Amino acid sequence: FRIMAGKVKWVTDIEKSVLINNFEKRGWIQVAENEDWNFYWMSVQTIRNVFSVETGYRLSDDQIVNHFPNHYELTRKDLMVKNIKRYRKELEKEGSPLAEKDENGKYIYLDFVPVTFMLPADYNLFVEEFRKNPSSTWIMKPCGKAQGKGIFLINKLSQIKKWSRDSKTSSFVSQSSKEAYVISLYINNPLLIGGKKFDLRLYVLVSTYRPLRCYMYKLGFCRFCTVKYTPSTSELDNMFVHLTNVAIQKHGDDYNHIHGGKWTVSNLRLYLESTRGKEVTNKLFDEIHWIIVQSLKAVAPVMNNDKHCFECYGYDIIIDDKLKPWLIEVNASPSLTSSTANDRILKYNLINDTLNIAVPNGEIPDCKWNKSPPKEVLGNYEVLYDEEMAQSDGPERDLRSRPGQSTGAKGNRARDVGKPVLTTWK
Amino acid sequence: AMLDPDRGLSLTIARVVQRLQGSSLHSQLERQARVSLHKPEIKLESLKEDIKDFLKTSGWEKKLQNAVYSELNVFPWLCHPAAPPEHIKEPLAYMRKAQGSWEKRILKSLNSMCTELSIPLAQKRPVSEQKELLNKWNEMGTDEPDLSLFRPVYAPKDFLEVLMNLRNPNYENGEQPSFRNHLGLIQVPLNVKDISELKEDFSELGLNIGQLGIDDSAQVPPEFFENDHVRVGQKVLAEQDSAAAQQYVRQGCPTALRADLWALILNISNQPEDILYYEQLKSNVIQHDLLVDSLIYKDVKLTASNDDYYFVFEDYLYQVLLCFSRDTSVLEHFTYSSATPPKSYIQGKLGMEEYAVFYPPNGVIPFHGFSMYVAPLCFLYHEPSKLYQIFREMYVRFFFRLHSISSHPS
């Protein structure tokens, strides 16, 4: 029974209808930033200000924001890789079975990020790796940009001379973070459907990092390239073949504005079951869930687990032709623009379900709550990993029903648990 | 007069034998029999029995069974030997007439479009164009031909209107609107099965029989039905028995086995000669341009590629439909279809039968939505010649009934 049952006061600096419609349908009241607010859906620039040393301010118990202060540990390409590498080394040091390596020195369970180097810092290390496979293709991505901006492919060292660290002049020039790039091994054997390359966009909601509690949105989607995939070197410059970001594809000749080249994840699942069989499809989706959880565990120790925060990430994953999923990047501000009617509905529902979990009952929040929503409010989310639940239950619970299992008809019942279950999901 | 069942059976056997004689299966069986002579288990004293046993254990008898089963499925076998061919197509005179008028309308529409646009029904492609088409054979979807002048020959709603206006002249329905003619769009009295007959025909849908899609939902433990059913499905596939497969899928088809089961039921095995046949059709497409090709392009762009959800297999549609239009083996199905393929005459030889050709070569004029027959199959089959054969078989067995006026009970 609430004594102060007032309406939630909201602010946003992102003018998108899918957001605003959701606030209004809950009867929330729009206020300005300098007024007393309960809920602020902010852009990543704003969160930086709120938590910065100079301009920041303390949030009170009835205020919630949609980003963690240092989300960039996960959402900046270079920091994500750094944290994952650190996490793997730590596990290796403590002798965890998760960090097991195969005869080639590759991690069996934790090799889910393509080989990546920071430039210019790791330039020499990169050159060493490049020379091992001189016919390989690499993808250059600016650390601080999104929507496919500034990305290009290279297959010759000469193409990235600019980032070479050997020149004496560069050591004293401070590279602004905008010029920092990551270079990753390009996955040139993506799984193709109808001859076309695609990637997966999955939404993951994190309500707390310690203990880790995260939810997977069941309605993710595949984004297709509109042009047939060819790994030939002549097509390296044709970004429409290689990049699947909707922002890039939208300008291709073939882009049909009626459809945005998207498939639902359930379509993908059905297709893979029909063409590859149920077992390998289940295994693929298990692995996708696994790598998402591992990426969150990797950054959990360094995340500022501020109780006022939750975050909805956009995970970009590519599946190769051996049905191995690769984590490409994580977005803190997944696009809320809609390219089609179906898209608009999906994003509206995404925000709706997110708000139902983050702001229980649509009432004025209290940060001291235990962040454990009842099952009924999850909507299209399902529990991906709940650290508290995983730790409190015994080993039997783990084997019977691993949390966050698939949305398929049968979930995990007759699944082959090749991985050491007892230690992994805790 | 009632057909004597024995005579009917021997006629059917004779027909099936005639159909399979000289087929590649026949020559393969002969070759297998000859090869088996070298085997130690074949003895001269019991030659016939031993060869039969060999064919059984090596799976060749099963292939023959499947071929016979296929023939029985496709051709009607309960017809009177004295029945004229037009009765095999459609026994009811008024329906034959309606189908005939409908076909005249379609052909008129096609011909007038042809005259308006002064595009020939068929023409040979210049060599440069042939090369270009061959190069982009795998991505015809990226082609942007100007189709603004073309319009579909007809749409499903036009056909529905024809069906709604069908009347049996022997049936006095009266001019006055009455209870009888007020209900339902279709006003022809056809004998349909009643509830008890349907219950028998669809007995596998009974409440006490497992069905995929119902008894494999998330709440039901898979041990109750799903696991066993999938196991049986795998066994059916291993046995390669068409009839068993058709019976099996009455309780539902597991997603992972669907492609193989459907191919087995349709008796499609994608032999080298089938692949060769498809390649020949493809070269026909490269060499000659048909007017209906533009209709196909237009249809694909208007329907399959115009969906809210991205249809990623657009290119396959062209690879199937363009070949399909040129496949004269499809003409065979007109013996048991109520439809008749349209005829066209070489320029200047109108009415002279020796200069008549079927147009398009397969006798099937594509209409608005035709590509949707192919679209779902693209999710199961990716090898072009296999996809092609599956579609063609589905069409000559089932889909042709969806756009012809007929009293056939199916």
Number of domains chain A is built from: 3
Within-domain flag for B153:
yes
Name the E strands within A210-276: 212-217, 221-224, 262-264
Domain shared by A62 and A196, yes or no:
no
Claim: this prediction has a pTM higher than 0.90: no
Residues 6+ apart with CB under 8 A from A77: A116, A141, A143, A182, A329
Tell me: the pLDDT tens digits for A61-104? 999 999 999 999 999 988 999 999 999 999 999 999 999 999 98
Q: Give the pLDDT confidence of B275-311 residue by residue, as tens digits.
A: 999 999 999 999 999 999 999 999 998 887 777 677 8
User: Of chain A residues 226-265, which have a CB less than 8 A from chain B?
Assistant: 227-228, 253-254, 256, 258-264
> How far off is chain B from A260, nearest CA to CA, in Å?
7
**Residue predicted with more confidence, B201 or A143:** B201
ipTM tops the 0.90 cut: no
Which residue reads 């702001």 in tokens?
Answer: A359
Tell me which residue in B141, B310, B380 faces A259 most closely, judged by beta carbons: B310
Instruction: Give me the pLDDT at residue A243, please.
Output: 61
Query: In this predicted structure, what is the pLDDT of residue B270?
Result: 87
Which residues of chain A have a CB within 8 Å of the CB of B314? Answer: 194
What is the pLDDT at residue B259? Answer: 95
Give Cβ neighbours of residue B52 (< 8 Å, ≥ 6 apart): B61
Tell me whether residue A343 is in a domain: yes
> A283 and A204 in one domain?
yes
- Does residue A26 form part of some domain? yes
The answer to whether position B133 is within a domain reads yes
Contact B312 A256 (CB under 8 A): no
Looking at the structure, tell me whether residues A206 and A341 fall in a common domain. Answer: yes
Is residue A250 domain-resident? yes
* Contact yes or no for B227 and A414 at CB 8 A: yes
Residues 358-387 of chain B whose Cβ lies under 8 A from any Cβ of chain A: 378-380, 382
**Is B397 a domain residue?**
yes
Verify whether the Cβ–Cβ distance B306 to A227 is below 8 Å.
Answer: no
What pLDDT, in 10s, does the model give residues B16-74? 888 888 888 999 999 988 888 888 888 888 888 988 898 899 889 999 999 998 888 87
**Residue A164 located in a structural domain:** no
pLDDT, tens only, A297-349: 999 999 999 999 999 999 999 999 999 999 999 999 888 887 778 788 989 99
DSSP-based helix, strand, coil % in chain A, nearest 5? 35, 20, 45
> What pLDDT shows up at residue A290?
96
Total number of domains constituting chain B: 1
Domain check: are A257 and A367 in the same one?
A: yes
Cβ-based neighbours of A69, under 8 Å, separated by 6 or more:
A47, A50, A51, A304, A306, A309
A422 vs B316, more confident: B316
Neighbours of A360 (CB within 10 A): 16
**One domain for residues A55 and A119:** no
Nearest residue on chain A to B317, alpha-carbon basis: A194
Chain A residues with CB-CB distance to B307 below 8 A: 258-259
Q: Kindly state whether B135 is in contact with chain A, defined as any CB-CB distance less than 8 angstroms.
A: no
Residues B207, B215: Cα–Cα separation, whole Å: 10
Statement to judge: residues A152 and A206 lie in one domain: no
Is residue A314 situated within a structural domain?
A: yes
A52 or B2, higher pLDDT: A52
User: Does the residue A93 lie in any domain?
Assistant: no
Nearest to B222 among A253, A263, A414 (CB): A414
- Same domain? For A125 and A240 the reply is no
Nearest to A79 by CA among A212, A182, A163: A182
pLDDT exceeds 60 at position A411: no
- pLDDT at position B216 is 86
Q: Is residue B297 in a domain?
A: yes
B223-237 per-position pLDDT tens digit: 889 999 999 999 999
Number of A–B residue contacts, CB under 8 Å:
75
Among chain B residues, CA nearest to A279? B256
Per the structure, the complete domain to which residue B279 belongs is given by 91-163+270-401
Look at A261 and B309 and tell me if their CB atoms are within 8 Å.
Answer: no
Q: Which of B257, B258, B312 to mutate to test the interface with A (most CBs of A within 10 A)?
A: B312
**One domain, residues A294 and A250:** yes
Decide if A39 is inside a domain: yes
Q: What's residue A242's pLDDT? A: 61
Residues A135 and A222 in one domain: no
Give the model confidence (pLDDT) of A89-101 as tens digits: 999 999 999 999 9
Q: Which two tokens stand for residue B7?
A: 């005579």
Measured between CB atoms, does B302 come within 8 Å of chain A?
A: no
Query: Does residue A200 sit in the same domain as residue A297?
Result: yes
Instruction: Single out the residue of A179, A205, A245 nearest to residue A71, CA to CA.
Output: A205
Q: Residues B174, B180, B181, CA angle at the centre, nearest 5°?
A: 65
Compute the average pLDDT of residues B131-158: 87
CATH number at residue A320: 3.30.470.20
Whether the CB of B227 is below 8 Å from some CB of chain A: the reply is yes
Domain extent, residue A25, equals: 9-69
Any domain includes A363: yes
B308 to A258: CB separation less than 8 angstroms, yes or no: yes
